[in-house]
Amino acid sequence: VAIIGAGNVGATTAYALMLRALFRDIVLIDKDMARAQAEAVDIAHGNALARPARIWAGTYADAATAQIAILTAGAATHGAESRLSVTARSAAIVQACVADLRAAGFDGLLLVAANPVDVMALTAFEHAGLPASRVIGSGTLLDSSRLRQAVAARLGVAPGSVSGYVVGEHGDSEVVAFSTVRVGGLPLSAIPGAAALDLDAIAADVREAAYRIVTGKGYTSFGVATALVKICEAVIRDEKTVLPVSTLLTGQYGISDLYLSLPCIVGRGGVEKVLVAEFNPAETEQLHRSAEVVRQAALGRMG
């Protein structure tokens, strides 16, 4: 696996991937070579105590034969800055990195984490020369995990027993689709105590989670790294796992030519199928509004 961008997200992802032992080779690529080297050496120092892997700082030539390239190089947000506010800066970085990756002959799966991730995944797709199925944005997998965690904590059940999706933009317009939430496979209406849940407060919690973390520690890293590992695992093990990831829409809900998150079947081929769930009318309307927000950001990319 090649990880482009050895900052907070890239280094944490490399570390999580080393512990998960999915890859024999983990190469970190960053325009700041000293930083990439320091992170690689630090992670490699734990490898004697984990399963063997080679972790090093390299160049795009090292990424040429990677099965997966994870793109974390992008403009970071600070304080109350929205993800969309860094669109132009991130797009320039993503474009440059993808051009280098393509020039090196990379022909694997490109997993994009740089924000705003839906617009950056679209940018990467436009420049990578890869089929859309093999250019994936981490999308709302993280937000969906936050939703499951939030519902689980309030109901006193394990997060793994809660399923449900946040869809649309990974950002302020995202759709927290409570109609999809199940606890142990049962709808919320069947769960004791669930009627008392303040769904609006949970949705706000999920939507604002990253801002609170950025206020506290300056960036987010562990949640997104875990989501990236999960996607890698689904691809490498050809799992056909259903994950809400950002993918090129081709008419679903009447939306096309945009990257947005919907539940997708993820396997060796990347996004192998996009699932079209029956959201309630309010959620469907929110999804359309979210698409419009992302469309405007995509149009204004270089502005």
Ligand X SMILES: NC(=O)c1ccc[n+]([C@@H]2O[C@H](COP(=O)([O-])OP(=O)(O)OC[C@H]3O[C@@H](n4cnc5c(N)ncnc54)[C@H](O)[C@@H]3O)[C@@H](O)[C@H]2O)c1
Rounded to whole angstroms, how far apart are CA atoms 116 and 118?
Answer: 6
Sign (positive or negative) of CA dihedral 139, 161, 281, 199: negative
For ligand X, the nearest residue by Cβ is 7
Nearer residue to ligand X within complex by CB, 2 or 177: 2
Min dist CB 45 to ligand X, Å, is 20
Among 144, 220, 261, 290, binds ligand X (CB under 6 A): 220
**With contact defined as beta carbons under 8 Å apart, do 203 and 176 qualify?**
yes
Determine if 115 is a binding residue for ligand X (CB under 6 A). yes
Cα atoms in the 13 Å half-sphere on the side-chain side of 280: 8
Contact yes or no for 108/69 (Cβ under 8 A) = yes
Rounded Cα distance between 222 and 244, Å, is 18
Q: Which of 105, 1, 96 is nearest to 53 (CA)?
A: 1
Which region among 111-119, 160-168, 197-205, 259-267 touches ligand X (by CB under 6 A)? Answer: 111-119
- Choose the binding region for ligand X from 24-32, 161-169, 184-192, 233-241 (rule: CB under 6 A): 24-32
Distances (CA, A) of 135 to 36, 51, 162, 201: 24, 28, 28, 33
State yes or no: residue 9 binds ligand X (CB under 6 A): yes
Of positions 24, 31, 45, 78, contacts ligand X by CB under 6 A: 31
Q: Is 5 in the site for ligand X (CB under 6 A)?
A: yes
75 binds ligand X (CB under 6 A): yes
Rounded CA separation 266/274 (Å): 9
Does 27 engage in binding with ligand X (CB under 6 A)? Answer: no
Stretch that binds ligand X, among 58-66, 75-83, 254-262, 293-301 (CB under 6 A): 75-83
Active site residue 170: yes
Q: Please report how the helices 199-217 and 141-155 are oriented relative to each other, as an axis angle in degrees rounded to 10.
A: 120
Residue 164 interacts with ligand X (CB under 6 A)? Answer: no
Which residues form the interface with ligand X (CB under 6 A)?
4-10, 30-32, 35, 72-77, 90, 93, 96-97, 113-115, 117, 138, 142, 170, 219-220, 224
Give catalytic residue positions: 170
